């Protein structure tokens, strides 16, 4: 894994003032990522000094230097939701059925829900609905159907962090016929207590390889005195039944080491949330030698970029 030399590639300095809500942005982090019409697109999480959270698009032709939009993403139809929505954040993007779906966390009264939006052009966005009843986060939709059904990974929030949000130590697989109503089918993987990934949650949308679904996730070590340490790791899930874990790396692949990861709004956080794979074969499998760009939130303050290959990630997933 190689950090880009321009890291952090996006900081608050890159966020233009957007009246009336986003003046003097404090932070930009945890982006969803996708390639669209040959361009690299990030769906950024940005915050203002009121600690209000918004989504904002950025675009690039090389995946490193991004131009940030001058308008916040607004989902048509979200205004019809009756309950109070405090924040929307941590969007993951999936291309399926010829459209780009965004799944994101929605902080509501007493719980976090998963919201779903869709776009065809990254200019206008439509809100499709709230897709969970329980307190849950880190939803990612697989980019293809399985026996006519959609599948997603999600992480029910069942653990209360001291002074922090609810979290969880098990990623589960859910199934849906319409992407709105989801049923949890099976647990996929759980945290490994005492090690780097005690609490876990999925990162970017999984990528199909000949050896399985490549699944990047974050793991939180909670056993240090004053901080929860957020890191990135990798596992391989079965191609036909992704609730089956084929391999799971013993070691993290990304941990807070650089100053911009160690210090910030929330110190010691590397939170991978977007991944772009450059090359697929004619049957839709990522090529082993393909370059991979992983975008992550650093200390809930800026965006970092990590470069690697499919082969390297698979090797890490198999490291025991
Ligand atoms: C998690 C989520 C992420 C955040 C991380 C570190 O629980 O809220 O959005 O980046 O904590 O604060």
Q: Ligand 1: which atom is nearest the Cα of residue 161?
A: 7
261 close to ligand 1 (CB < 6 Angstrom): no
Residues for the chain: how many in total?
A: 320
What's the sign of the alpha-carbon dihedral 96, 252, 287, 243? negative
pLDDT the model gives residue 225: 75
pTM of the complete model beyond 0.95: yes
The alpha carbon of 210 and the centre of ligand 1 are apart by a number of angstroms equal to 32
The alpha carbon of 185 and the centre of ligand 1 are apart by a number of angstroms equal to 25
The alpha carbon of 269 and the centre of ligand 1 are apart by a number of angstroms equal to 8
**Whole-angstrom distance, CA of residue 73 vs CA of residue 42:** 12
**Whole-angstrom distance, CA of residue 185 vs CA of residue 173:** 6
Is residue 148 within 8 Å of 134, Cβ to Cβ? Answer: no
pLDDT the model gives residue 167: 86
Tens of pLDDT, residues 293-313: 999 999 999 999 999 999 999
CATH number, position 87: 2.115.10.20
231 close to ligand 1 (CB < 6 Angstrom): no
Please measure the distance between the N-terminal and C-terminal CA atoms of the chain and give it in whole angstroms: 18
More confident of the two residues 230 and 1: 230
Closest among 28, 55, 317, 53 to 197, alpha carbons compared: 317
Q: Ligand 1: which atom is nearest the Cα of residue 30?
A: 10
Average pLDDT over residues 37-53: 97
Tens of pLDDT, residues 131-167: 999 999 999 999 999 999 999 999 999 988 777 778 8
**Whole-angstrom distance, CA of residue 316 vs CA of residue 148:** 32
- Burial of 111: CB neighbours in 10 Å, binned 0-12, 13-18, 19+: middle
Tens of pLDDT, residues 102-116: 999 999 999 999 999
Cα pseudo-dihedral 181, 187, 189, 191, rounded to 10: 100
Q: Ligand 1: which atom is nearest the Cα of residue 271?
A: 10
**Whole-angstrom distance, CA of residue 56 vs CA of residue 22:** 10
* Domain around 61: 2-317
- H helices of the chain, where? 259-262, 310-317
Tell the residue nearest (CA) to atom 12 of ligand 1: 266
165 close to ligand 1 (CB < 6 Angstrom): yes
Tell the residue nearest (CA) to atom 8 of ligand 1: 165
The alpha carbon of 202 and the centre of ligand 1 are apart by a number of angstroms equal to 12
**Cβ neighbours around 19 below 10 Å, total:** 7
Q: Ligand 1: which atom is nearest the Cα of residue 265?
A: 12
Average pLDDT, the chain: 97
| Prior bond of 8 cis (ω within 30°) | yes
- Pocket residue to mutate for ligand 1, from 230, 231, 268, 299, most atoms within 8 A of Cβ: 230
Closest among 151, 272, 252 to 192, alpha carbons compared: 252
Q: Ligand 1: which atom is nearest the Cα of residue 45?
A: 9
Number of domains within the chain? 1
């Amino acid at each position: 894994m190689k950090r880009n030399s321009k890291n952090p590639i996006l900081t608050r300095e890159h966020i233009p003032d957007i009246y009336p809500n986003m003046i003097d942005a404090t932070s930009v982090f945890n982006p969803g990522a996708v390639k669209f019409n040959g361009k690299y697109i990030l769906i950024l999480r940005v915050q203002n000094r009121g600690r209000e959270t918004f989504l904002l698009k950025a675009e690039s032709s090389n995946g490193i230097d991004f131009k940030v939009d001058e308008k916040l993403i607004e989902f048509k139809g979200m205004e019809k939701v009756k309950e109070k929505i405090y924040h929307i954040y941590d969007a993951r993007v999936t291309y399926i059925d010829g459209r780009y779906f965004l799944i994101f966390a929605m902080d509501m009264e007493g719980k976090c829900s998963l919201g779903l939006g869709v776009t065809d052009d990254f200019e206008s966005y439509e809100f499709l609905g709230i897709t969970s009843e329980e307190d849950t986060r880190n939803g990612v939709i697989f980019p293809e159907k399985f026996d006519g059904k959609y599948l997603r990974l999600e992480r029910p929030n069942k653990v209360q962090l001291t002074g922090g949000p609810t979290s969880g130590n098990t990623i589960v697989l859910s199934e849906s016929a319409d992407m709105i109503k989801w049923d949890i089918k099976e647990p996929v993987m759980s945290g490994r207590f005492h090690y780097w990934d005690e609490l876990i949650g999925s990162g970017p949308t999984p990528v199909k390889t000949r050896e399985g679904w490549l699944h990047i996730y974050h793991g939180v070590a909670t056993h240090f005195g004053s901080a929860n340490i957020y890191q990135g790791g990798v596992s391989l899930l079965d191609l036909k039944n992704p609730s089956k874990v084929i391999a799971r790396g013993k070691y993290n692949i990304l941990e807070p080491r650089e100053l911009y990861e160690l210090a910030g709004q929330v110190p010691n956080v590397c939170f991978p949330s977007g991944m772009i794979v450059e090359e697929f074969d004619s049957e839709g499998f990522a090529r082993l030698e393909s370059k991979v760009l992983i975008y992550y939130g650093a200390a809930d303050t800026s965006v970092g970029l990590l470069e690697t290959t499919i082969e390297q990630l698979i090797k890490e997933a198999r490291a025991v």
